[in-house]
Structure 1
Amino acid sequence: MAVFVLDRGGQPVMPCSEKRARLLLQSKRARVHRVMPFTIRLIDRSQTDCLLQPLRLKLDPGSRVTGLAVVREKPNTPGAKNAPAFEIAVINLFELVHRGRQISEALTARRQMRRRRRGNLRYRAPRGLNRGNKQKGWLAPSLQHRVDTTLAWVARLRRLAPITALSSELVRFDMQQLANPQIEGAEYQQGTLAGYEVREYLLEKWSRTCAYCDAQNTPLQIEHIEPRARGGSHRISNLCLACGPCNQKKAARTLQDFLKKDPARLARILAQAKKPLRDAAAVNATRWALAEALKATSLPLELASGGQTKFNRCTLGMPKTHALDAACVGRVDAIAGWQNHASATLTIKAMGRGSYQRTRLDGFGFPRGYLMREKSVHGFQTGDLVKAVVPKGKKAGTHVGRVAIRKTGSFNITTARGVVQGIGHKNCRVVQRNDGYGYFFNRAQHTGCEQAGPGATDALHPALYLPGLNPGVSRAS
């Protein structure tokens, strides 16, 4: 992956390659500013001495994972033949894993424990002072977390790279065009995107399943509920998905005639077909909230649909990942350099910054034991990225990973190979302070981080192992 570069004043300049960063560090022209994502700070240059090129940050918002891609827009050579009209070069790829499910489960557990305590002790009616005061545009905490976390990383990447524009996938399909296909006339009906928005919407609406036999993992065809031969239209409410055999078997028969022996399925299909498009808008509530927040950044914002993203990815022959989907958002004619960066995608997992609870709870919601009141022991906090050098003993060697502190000063370090217990604090050195995220390289292809547990780092940056390099704690920590 590319290395982010800051000038001597902390302002972002153009990212460089890993080889260039290593040479700058070895020649002492730069220092390590941050380990994850890896960033160096120049000593002898300012932003005015560097040539900046336009960088664009692209986002593919998702319910569990949001794809992020930093790309460089390559200008076309005047007069060049067969040159793509709009080509980009991939700089960095990220996948941001949200913790919305954990937040929802934690709130549910807290609510149940409070209700249990009220029932076992003296009765106290719920006060409800915090109810009914929701402002317009309010989102549940598990949904608001996705918006806030994505915006936080947009702001962080803007501090690390000279980003001049944003692109985001607004919705998975353009519902306005689905409701009114004539909105752009023949350009929509006959253009390169013709049918892509419709197919994406139907796949989502019918759960990628045949409406007549519930077949999955098979090629599906667009089926007219009311046949065209009997006056049926192309409206989205008259379309469903069917496998090849069911489509041929139904032919030009009416739905009532075809399913006269299965009235339950007939009623279900008719109810599913009449679901309004606003149901899909409710599912995409966080995308609209994120789009409004991105507009407030004062950067030029390009909004696109999921149908266009899939069209770009399939046309360019790229595999399906969240990060590469982000690179395909918006107008794209050609993408360069994605093959090298796809294998070095940095996965960023939201871990939280700890808990406010001072006790553990039993199955009935009552306190069980007490936790330390101090969050720091000998200058270390749980979640810090540390490097421990043990000179002798059974645990001799170098261990790099996330630390879990104890009051005794004997810590546990979660590495890619597992948990190393009983490491003395005198042998540990902070590499990067806990920022609430865990970082992984190629998490889907390696199982080391899964065995190591939450917060592990399965592949740290090679600069950590440079001879004589002492990253320390930088200003960014």
Structure 2
Amino acid sequence: MFVLAKGGEPLMPCHPARARELLRSGRAALARRAPFTIRLRDRTREGSTVTGVHVRLDPGSKATGIAVTDELHRIGPEGRTSVARRGLITIELRHRGQQIHNGMLRRAGYRRRRRSSNLRYRAPRSDNRRRPPGWLPPSTQHRVDSTMSLVTKLCRYAPVVEIHVEQVAFDTTALARAGQSGVRENLGPTLAGFEIREFLLAKWNRSCAYCDASAVPLNMEHVRPRSLGGSDRISNLVLACVPCNQAKGTQRVEEFLADRPARLKAVVAQLGRPLRDVAAMNATQHLLVETLATLGVPVHTWSGGRTYWNRAVMGLPKSHTVDALSVGFLAHERGDELVRAPAQILVVTSTGRGAYARTTPDRFGFPRLRRPRAKILNGYATGDLVRAVVPRGAWVGTWLGRIAVRTSGQHRLTTLTCRFDVSYRNLTLLQRADGYSYGFAPEIRLSAIQGDAYSGVTRRGGGCRNVRKPDA
């Protein structure tokens, strides 16, 4: 849990049990519910020991893993100093880039339809609008803005001294050149082996391109065989299971899939389809680092290969939060390791702050309903965290959740297990909406690693649950 000093300065995070003890004894007060933060009543920054924490980021297209860690320096029996990296708080930030992209396409479709229906005589608009330097599409810019917003909050609630960011895992320019004559040999075995294979695993969803077999050994297979003039370009490579690879042999893909035209069409379409997630990350990687540098905290960048190596040596599975814990330098030869991670991860989902549209369109793009201009109704806004005390009816009891406001005063309350309407008179505001929803997901722990009594981190299990704790 995040801890603030009496004057509001960030202190070292504490264990949830310690936070509950401080709240029960009256030595601390609740400062924020999500993320959960307490403020001490009897301690200042000068009277506390603050060693500082590191924020580690694993940027992704759909979600970004964030880990708040500290480091313990230990002296071994031979006098060598090793580092034990502890995960204090792990966060999975879920972006809404695809939602923004779909909304932009929908709006463009509405405008195009209205123009073609009513203004057929109007000439097309000149494409002379200039974009400022560094412009990115809204769906891509959102990934940078949401990550920056959350890291700024972490710097406000925790004593951050360093920020570590993983660079993009795939260099699409180098991958495109990997099959050219005389280039592949100069790139070395790392790109030719690991990065190309990982790129194909991501592009073909870790399954065979010809039969969709998964959880089996997969080989890199040439769609057009090299014996018939096929190249080693990434656009000529697919993943195939051993039986399909042997059955295809030196045949053309058109001959091998002649009896399955639907599969042939899908394979050819996937070959020419770019990996959109990789393209989005390549467009934002440098802007994200430059934006984080404005916080005044040293920012260090690391390769995806380093993250993969740390995770593989520790024997940890892949997930956003595990990758975030593995970002940065660890000298495994001297005994450095990841020793602990929280039992739960904080899931932060970007929800936005509402729409600009003042009408609800029909399927043709014409206004159907008029939306209220005011976003705050009866003192509440959509996304506020509230406590509802229902005195009678089917939903009698005390509930905690987020609301969607309505002009009638019967706001829609969403909790962990249900959704129902409740009057604004029965609500108590706990926290204003900030454009994000907060929940928790459990972490499954591994057994001891390398013979020590340390618990590792595994893939998250179970579903996400909202921040809700019924009082009754």
Task: Give TM-score scaled by structure 2 length.
Answer: 0.78
The equivalent of 1:420 in structure 2 is 420
Distance 2:205 2:407 in 1: 51
> Greater shift after overlay, 171-180 or 137-146?
171-180
The equivalent of 1:68 in structure 2 is 66
Q: 1:43 to 1:306 in 2, by over 3 A?
A: same
Distance 1:357 1:216 in 2: 45
Report deviation, 1:42.
1.4
Q: Does 1:157 align with 2:157?
A: no
Report deviation, 1:25.
1.2
The equivalent of 1:140 in structure 2 is 137
The equivalent of 1:32 in structure 2 is 30
User: Gaps spanning 5+ residues in structure 2: where?
Assistant: 443-459
Report deviation, 1:404.
2.1
Distance 1:335 1:209 in 2: 31
Q: 1:146 to 1:126 in 2, by over 3 A?
A: farther
SS at match of 1:293: helix
Q: Which amino acid is 2:378 matched to?
A: H
Report deviation, 1:300.
2.4
SS at match of 2:112: helix
Report deviation, 1:243.
3.3
The equivalent of 1:378 in structure 2 is 378
The equivalent of 2:41 in structure 1 is 43
Q: 1:409 to 1:247 in 2, by over 3 A?
A: closer
Report deviation, 1:64.
0.8
User: Gaps spanning 5+ residues in structure 1: where?
Assistant: 450-456, 468-477
Q: Does 1:458 align with 2:457?
A: no
The equivalent of 2:432 in structure 1 is 433
Distance 1:130 1:175 in 2: 29
Report deviation, 1:413.
1.2
The equivalent of 2:366 in structure 1 is 366
Q: Does 1:117 align with 2:114?
A: yes
Contact 1:177 1:183 in 2 (8 A): no
Contact 2:63 2:93 in 1 (8 A): yes
Distance 1:356 1:228 in 2: 55
Report deviation, 1:151.
1.0
The aligned runs of 1:183-194 (5 Å cut-off) are none
Contact 1:346 1:442 in 2 (8 A): yes
Report deviation, 1:393.
4.2
Superposed CA deviations along residues 241-282 of structure 1, whole A, max 9, x for unmatched, are 44334666789xxx5x7879559999x9999999999x9667
Report deviation, 1:207.
5.3
Distance 1:358 1:225 in 2: 51
Report deviation, 1:407.
2.6
Q: Which amino acid is 1:162 matched to?
A: P
Superposed CA deviations along residues 452-471 of structure 1, whole A, max 9, x for unmatched, are xxxxx6343x6x85x9xxxx
Contact 2:168 2:303 in 1 (8 A): yes
The equivalent of 2:298 in structure 1 is 300
Distance 1:346 1:434 in 2: 17
Percent identical residues: 42
The equivalent of 2:449 in structure 1 is none
The equivalent of 1:54 in structure 2 is 52
The aligned runs of 1:388-399 (5 Å cut-off) are 388-399=388-399
Report deviation, 1:235.
9.5
Q: Which amino acid is 1:154 matched to?
A: V
The equivalent of 2:450 in structure 1 is none
Superposed CA deviations along residues 202-224 of structure 1, whole A, max 9, x for unmatched, are 4346654557x455312123568
Q: 1:209 to 1:432 in 2, by over 3 A?
A: same
The aligned runs of 1:391-410 (5 Å cut-off) are 391-410=391-410
Superposed CA deviations along residues 315-357 of structure 1, whole A, max 9, x for unmatched, are 212233211121112223411112xx2x411111111111122
Report deviation, 1:21.
1.0
Q: 1:382 to 1:239 in 2, by over 3 A?
A: closer
The equivalent of 2:97 in structure 1 is 100
Q: 1:290 to 1:158 in 2, by over 3 A?
A: same
The equivalent of 1:351 in structure 2 is 351
Superposed CA deviations along residues 379-406 of structure 1, whole A, max 9, x for unmatched, are 1112111001233444321011111223
**Which of 328, 339, 344 is the equivalent residue of 1:336?**
339
Contact 1:173 1:307 in 2 (8 A): no
Report deviation, 1:29.
1.7
Contact 1:382 1:404 in 2 (8 A): yes
Contact 1:171 1:304 in 2 (8 A): no
The equivalent of 2:289 in structure 1 is 291
Distance 2:169 2:374 in 1: 46
Report deviation, 1:84.
7.8
- What CA RMSD, in Å, does the superposition of the two structures yield over aligned residues? 4.2
Distance 2:2 2:222 in 1: 52
Report deviation, 1:126.
7.1
The equivalent of 1:452 in structure 2 is none
